[in-house]
Amino acid sequence: MIIKKLNGITPKYGENCFFAENAVVIGDVVMGDDCSVWYSAVIRGDVNSIKMGDKVNVQDGVVIHGTYQKSATHIGSNVSIAHNATVHGCTIHDNVLIGMNAVILDDAVIHSNSLIAAGAVVTKGTIVESGCIYAGIPAKKVKDISTELISGEIERIANSYLMYAGWYMDEKM
């Protein structure tokens, strides 16, 4: 893993975090407990800050970044960011699932208990309502999310990635 100090700022992370060997975390990044950063993921806090809560999983190939002097990135707790997604200069609240290859652009706000479908593009400044599924290009609300989907997908995936990270951290060479 590469955890790199930049401009005098070293990334900070909480307890029980997993970083894959080729994950990259640079600069002004703060993440809570029980987070995981998977293979080929890049969290680049070089031009603006990136703040993440507890139990966030940043899956393989994800890029998290911001915009210089304009848009920082804020990610709540219990968030799953699936393979190859891009999260850029936005705010993601708690209990959110970002689908594979989704793109979240500057100044978008994803409210709690929401799901962004695989391949969706959430354009600049979009406000995603709490408890909704957004899909498409550009992403639009397609339906309200059920309580079953919140526990069956959002919570299940976040808990699964916590378990998977434990497998890797327990493995000794």
Give the pLDDT confidence score for residue 149 in this predicted structure: 81
Give the pLDDT confidence score for residue 172 in this predicted structure: 56
Give the pLDDT confidence score for residue 173 in this predicted structure: 42
pLDDT band at 161 (very low <50, low <70, confident <90, very high): very high
Asked if residue 136 lies in contact with residue 142, where contact means CB atoms within 8 angstroms, the answer is yes
At residue 13, the 3 state secondary structure works out as strand
Domain CATH for 121: 2.160.10.10
**Contacts within 8 Å (CB) and 24+ apart, 80-88:** 80/56, 80/154, 80/157, 80/158, 80/161, 81/56, 81/57, 82/118, 83/59, 84/60, 85/59, 86/62, 87/62, 87/63, 88/63, 88/64
Domain that holds residue 8: 2-170
Mean pLDDT of the chain: 95
E-assigned strand segments in 7-136? 12-13, 18-19, 24-31, 36-37, 42-52, 56-58, 63-65, 73-75, 79-81, 86-88, 91-92, 96-98, 103-104, 109-110, 114-116, 121-122, 127-128, 132-135
**What's the number of domains the chain is made of?**
1
Asked if residue 111 lies in contact with residue 130, where contact means CB atoms within 8 angstroms, the answer is yes
Give the pLDDT confidence score for residue 88 in this predicted structure: 98
Span 33-37, mean pLDDT?
Answer: 98
pLDDT digits (tens, 9 = 90+) for 104-150: 999 999 999 999 999 999 999 999 999 999 999 999 999 999 888 88
Give the pLDDT confidence score for residue 4 in this predicted structure: 95
The pTM (predicted TM-score) of the whole model is 0.95
Burial class (CB in 10 A: 0-12, 13-18, 19+), 54: buried
pLDDT band at 152 (very low <50, low <70, confident <90, very high): confident
pLDDT band at 20 (very low <50, low <70, confident <90, very high): very high
Asked if residue 162 lies in contact with residue 36, where contact means CB atoms within 8 angstroms, the answer is yes
The neighbour count for residue 152, using CB atoms within 10 Å, is 11
DSSP 133-160: EEETTTTEEEEEPPHHHIIIIIIHHHHH
